[in-house]
Each structure stands twice: as C-alpha cells, then as structure tokens.
C-alpha cells in the first residue's frame, strides 16, 4: 500500500518518484505558506512544471542538474539529502544556488503558476476577480505609482 504522498510522486511524468519528491520539496521550500489549503496548489504547480519538462528537454535537464546540485550540497554540508534536512537547512541550500539559471528559471515559473491561482488569492487574502461589487470605489485606482515615469502617469508633469 502506498501512502498519499508517495502516490503523488507516481503521477509525475518527466521525473522519477525520487526526483519528484526532491522537486516538490524544493517547491514547498520556495513557497513556505503554512496554510494547508495551499498544499494542493503547490502540488499542482509542481505537476504543471513536470508537464513542461516532458516536452521541454532543456528545462528537464536544467531542473535535474539543479536538483542534483541542491541535494549533493545538502549531503556535503549536513550529511543528509535535501528532503531529510530541516527547513532552515533547505533554505540555506537554495540560497547557495539562487543566482544559478536553475533557480532563476524555477522561481520564475513557480511564482507565475502558483500565484496565478484563484484559491491562492483567496487563502492569502488578495481581493481576486470574483468581487461581487467590482473594483470601483475600493481605492484600487488610487494606489501610489512607483518608478520611472510616475510624474507623467499621475499628471504632475503638466501641473508645473
């Protein structure tokens, strides 16, 4: 009999179950939200990236090499693989690779997929698109603009 977590690893296509476990461990570390309602969206994000790796062999190679590097780094530093060390040591291992193409690519895809889910918006308290009363008169049109071109966008340049 396989437990539910092990069953999840068997649903991956591009990754073997042991690679999928490591991959999901990395994603859980990158998305450390404590709310249990976000467990399924995290798994869904991992499966979306796995599906991209089925056809994208370059992405698959990049992820597999990065996962190996992270796991080996943990083994050298802590005597155990990434999935066996506590969260603080997982973060340490990921910080060591945060400037690599592996991590930069992965973080971009993970954030784009995970934070684009309505369930995530609701759990984190973001006012999503399902507002019955719309967005008018809720102050979203008065958010401060930051960055280059602010004067032009706010009309301050013509007030001179």
Over range 124-142, report the average pLDDT.
Answer: 61
The backbone torsions φ and ψ at residue 33, rounded to the nearest 5 degrees and listed phi first, read -60, 135
Q: Is residue 88 classed exposed, middle or buried when 0-12, 13-18 and 19+ CB atoms within 10 A define those classes?
A: exposed
**Cβ neighbours for 146, distance < 8 A, ≥ 6 positions apart:** none
Please determine, for residue 143, whether its predicted confidence score (pLDDT) is greater than 60.
no
Helix then strand then coil, in percent of the chain rounded to 5, is 65, 0, 35
Using DSSP, state whether 110 is helix, strand or coil: helix
Could you read off the pLDDT of 23-33 as tens digits, one per residue?
Answer: 999 999 999 99
Task: Give the pLDDT confidence score for residue 7 in this predicted structure.
Answer: 85
Task: Give the pLDDT confidence score for residue 157 in this predicted structure.
Answer: 47
Please determine, for residue 147, whether its predicted confidence score (pLDDT) is greater than 60.
no
Using the 8-state DSSP alphabet, how is residue 101 labeled?
A: H
Task: Give the pLDDT confidence score for residue 4 in this predicted structure.
Answer: 83
In the chain, where the domains are located: 4-127
CA–CA separation, 109 and 48 (whole Å): 9
Could you read off the pLDDT of 58-105 as tens digits, one per residue?
Answer: 999 999 999 999 999 999 999 999 999 999 999 999 999 999 999 999
**Cβ neighbours for 13, distance < 8 A, ≥ 6 positions apart:** 50, 51, 53, 54
């Amino acid at each position: 009999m396989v437990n539910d977590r092990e069953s999840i690893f068997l649903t991956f296509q591009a990754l073997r179950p042991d690679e999928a476990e490591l991959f999901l461990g990395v994603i859980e570390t990158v998305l450390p939200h404590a709310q249990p309602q976000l467990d399924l969206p995290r798994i869904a994000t991992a499966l979306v990236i796995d599906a991209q790796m089925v056809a994208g062999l370059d992405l698959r190679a990049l992820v597999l090499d990065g996962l190996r590097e992270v796991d080996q780094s943990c083994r050298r530093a802590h005597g155990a693989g990434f999935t066996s060390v506590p969260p603080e040591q997982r973060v340490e291992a990921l910080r060591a690779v945060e400037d690599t193409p592996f991590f930069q690519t992965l973080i971009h895809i993970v954030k784009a997929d995970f934070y684009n889910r309505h369930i995530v918006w609701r759990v984190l308290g973001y006012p999503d698109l399902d507002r019955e009363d719309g967005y008018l008169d809720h102050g979203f049109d008065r958010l401060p603009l930051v960055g280059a071109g602010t004067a032009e966008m706010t009309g301050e340049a013509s007030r001179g």
